[in-house]
Amino acid sequence: MTFVPNSASARDIAHHLHPYTNLKVHETEGPLVITRGKGVYVYDEDGKDYLEAMAGLWSASLGFSEPRLVDAAVKQLKELPYYHTFTHKSHLPSIDLAEKLKSVAPVPMSKVIFQNSGSEANDTVVKLVWYYHNAIGKPEKKKIISRIKAYHGVTVASASLTGLPNNHRDFDLPIANILHADCPHYYRFAQDGESEEDFATRLADNLEKLILKEGPETVGGFIAEPIMGAGGVIVPPKTYFEKIQAVLQKYDVLFIVDEVICGFGRTGNYWGSQTFDLKPDMLSCAKALSSSYLPISAVMVNEKVYQAMVVESEKIGVFGHGYTYSGHPVCAAVALETLKIYEERNIVEHVQQVGPRMQAGLRKFLDHPLVGEVRGTGLIGAVEMVQDKKSRASFDPKLGLGAKLAKIAQANGLIVRAIGDSIAFTPPLVITEAEIDDMLARMKKSLDEAL
Ligand code: PLP
């Protein structure tokens, strides 16, 4: 492709290093430059509309034009544009937000610490697992178990938790003390004739074997997304988390739930933890916390973890962790307003109402010759394309069918995410039934064109 000299695309190619992008392809194909948003749609430089079926990065839950979030930011910028939360300083937006998050937490939580991104939240979690076990006199209990295909971010520690080859390969990751247990994808990894419950039992048994092999005295934490997002929208099989949590309790392993995608209504409950009856000791969240209008993330810790941290402070003094922007007042004010809007507009009930329309619409694609599995709940879903429906054989990865489909969809005014040959859908939570129908129609056209 050739680009008009000095156009946005030409300047992008010349100057901008893109995350999560094939850099070689980018040099010739350039970017899609988005210039404005309205509701669930975004628009490019030429005014072409795209239904944003990923809410950006699973995140802009209130869509792309919520004026109340803009007003909340402006108001706070005028009042106190910046202050920090180090060394006993505080400010009202971060106090209010910590209090609010605790009040909506899926299990009783003690304290909330703020970061700027999901990756940093999970980095904090890793450090807290280590800090906690040092504090309680079990310094050898440091290993953290994540899962194959998990996504927890890209900082050194959170990328190590992530269980995807692209995030490890040639970055010299994972770091020591991070292990990966089985991926709970029934469609892909169940054995012939195995029920969902039997599959869940096998995975829980494997987790127990892993803990015993490593030595329970060395395993300090287990982290999981309620539904795996970037690994392919993988919904756990029936009874999975019940069995996994029993193993964690048996060996006194802290349970950390990563609610960065599932939190704030996505799965049809306020938290994914409620959808799957999870009882975390720590919970990380980000993205929809501020509808992504400004960067902010949070980690909630329970009383057990917090009390150990206080003891550590008695012993060594200052808790030596935190960011210049931890609880940034403008981000916190926008997050507070976001949570207020979720309540006022009954966003969870809205997801319960419209989610089934998206899920039923996606499941209709099972009749399509390319589609092998459709999965999801609430407003998170995925369509997996297969070469052979019966054997579930995947297409040759070299074909890049998922990426090809995402490209066709983009030409048809639909932004989706390809994860291998799975196509993910996480539209803004404010999406209407008519907009869901529009999204499904654009997807149907794209699937037909990919044949
Ligand atoms: N955890 C989960 C479940 C995520 O999906 C993501 C990002 O997609 C992260 C953590 C990392 O968040 P961030 O990109 O804000 O660092």
Distance, in Å, from the CA atom of 97 to the CA atom of 115, rounded to the nearest integer, reads 13
CATH number for the segment(s) 32-53+346-450: 3.90.1150.10
Distance, in Å, from the CA atom of 115 to the CA atom of 425, rounded to the nearest integer, reads 27
Buried b or exposed e, range 327-343, using 16+ CB within 10 angstroms: bbbbbbbbbbbbbebbe
Q: Is 152 in the pocket of ligand 1 (CB under 6 A)?
A: yes
Residue nearest to atom 7 of ligand 1 (CA): 153
Q: What is the pLDDT of residue 297?
A: 99
Q: Is 234 in the pocket of ligand 1 (CB under 6 A)?
A: no
- Least confident span in 96-105, 111-120, 149-158, 393-402: 393-402
Sheet holding 297-301, edge to edge: 111-115, 297-301, 282-285, 254-258, 219-224, 143-147, 178-181
Q: Where are the domains of the chain?
A: 32-53+346-450, 70-344
Q: Which residues pair with 178 in a beta bridge?
A: 144
Residue nearest to atom 1 of ligand 1 (CA): 152
Q: What is the pLDDT of residue 236?
A: 98
Measure 247 CA to ligand 1 centroid, in angstroms.
26
User: What is the position in ligand 1's atom list of the atom closest to the CA of 262?
Assistant: 3
Mean pLDDT of 305-316: 96
Q: What is the pLDDT of residue 20?
A: 95
Q: Is 157 in the pocket of ligand 1 (CB under 6 A)?
A: no
Whether 11 shows a pLDDT value over 90: the answer reads: yes
Q: Is 351 in the pocket of ligand 1 (CB under 6 A)?
A: no
Q: What is the pLDDT of residue 451?
A: 87
Over residues 365-411, the pLDDT tens digits come to: 999 999 999 999 999 999 999 999 999 999 999 999 999 999 999 99
Q: What is the pLDDT of residue 75?
A: 98
State the sign of the Cα–Cα–Cα–Cα dihedral 116, 121, 127, 133: positive
Measure 438 CA to ligand 1 centroid, in angstroms.
28
Residue % of the chain over a pLDDT of 90? 99
Q: What is the pLDDT of residue 353?
A: 98
Residue nearest to atom 5 of ligand 1 (CA): 261
Measure 153 CA to ligand 1 centroid, in angstroms.
5
Distance, in Å, from the CA atom of 318 to the CA atom of 61, rounded to the nearest integer, reads 37
Q: What is the pLDDT of residue 255?
A: 99
Measure 375 CA to ligand 1 centroid, in angstroms.
20
Residue 314: strand, helix, or coil: helix
Among 423, 420, 421, which Cα is nearest to 412's? 423
Over residues 167-205, the pLDDT tens digits come to: 999 999 999 999 999 999 999 999 999 999 999 999 999
* Confidence band for 74, pLDDT divided at 50, 70 and 90: very high
State the sign of the Cα–Cα–Cα–Cα dihedral 225, 274, 210, 298: positive
Distance, in Å, from the CA atom of 328 to the CA atom of 2, rounded to the nearest integer, reads 42
Here the tokens at position 47 are 């005014």
Measure 307 CA to ligand 1 centroid, in angstroms.
28
Q: What is the pLDDT of residue 309?
A: 97
User: What is the position in ligand 1's atom list of the atom closest to the CA of 120?
Assistant: 16
Mean pLDDT of 89-105: 98
The answer to whether domain 70-344 has CATH 3.40.640.10 is yes
Q: Is 230 in the pocket of ligand 1 (CB under 6 A)?
A: yes
Model-level pTM? Answer: 0.98
* Confidence band for 249, pLDDT divided at 50, 70 and 90: very high
Distance, in Å, from the CA atom of 19 to the CA atom of 155, rounded to the nearest integer, reads 13
Q: Is 402 in the pocket of ligand 1 (CB under 6 A)?
A: no
Which class for 34: exposed (0-12), middle (13-18), buried (19 or more C-beta within 10 A)?
A: middle
Whether 158 shows a pLDDT value over 90: the answer reads: yes
Mean pLDDT of 68-81: 98
Q: Is 119 in the pocket of ligand 1 (CB under 6 A)?
A: yes
Q: What is the pLDDT of residue 241?
A: 98
Whether 323 shows a pLDDT value over 90: the answer reads: yes
The rounded mean pLDDT for the chain is 97
Place of tokens 């654009």: 442
User: What is the position in ligand 1's atom list of the atom closest to the CA of 228?
Assistant: 3
Measure 119 CA to ligand 1 centroid, in angstroms.
6
CA dist 128 → 78, 134, 216, 304 (Å):
35, 10, 18, 12
CA atoms within 13 A on the CB side of 109: 25
Measure 285 CA to ligand 1 centroid, in angstroms.
9
Distance, in Å, from the CA atom of 28 to the CA atom of 2, rounded to the nearest integer, reads 8
Whether 1 shows a pLDDT value over 90: the answer reads: no
* Confidence band for 326, pLDDT divided at 50, 70 and 90: very high
Measure 429 CA to ligand 1 centroid, in angstroms.
18
Measure 260 CA to ligand 1 centroid, in angstroms.
6
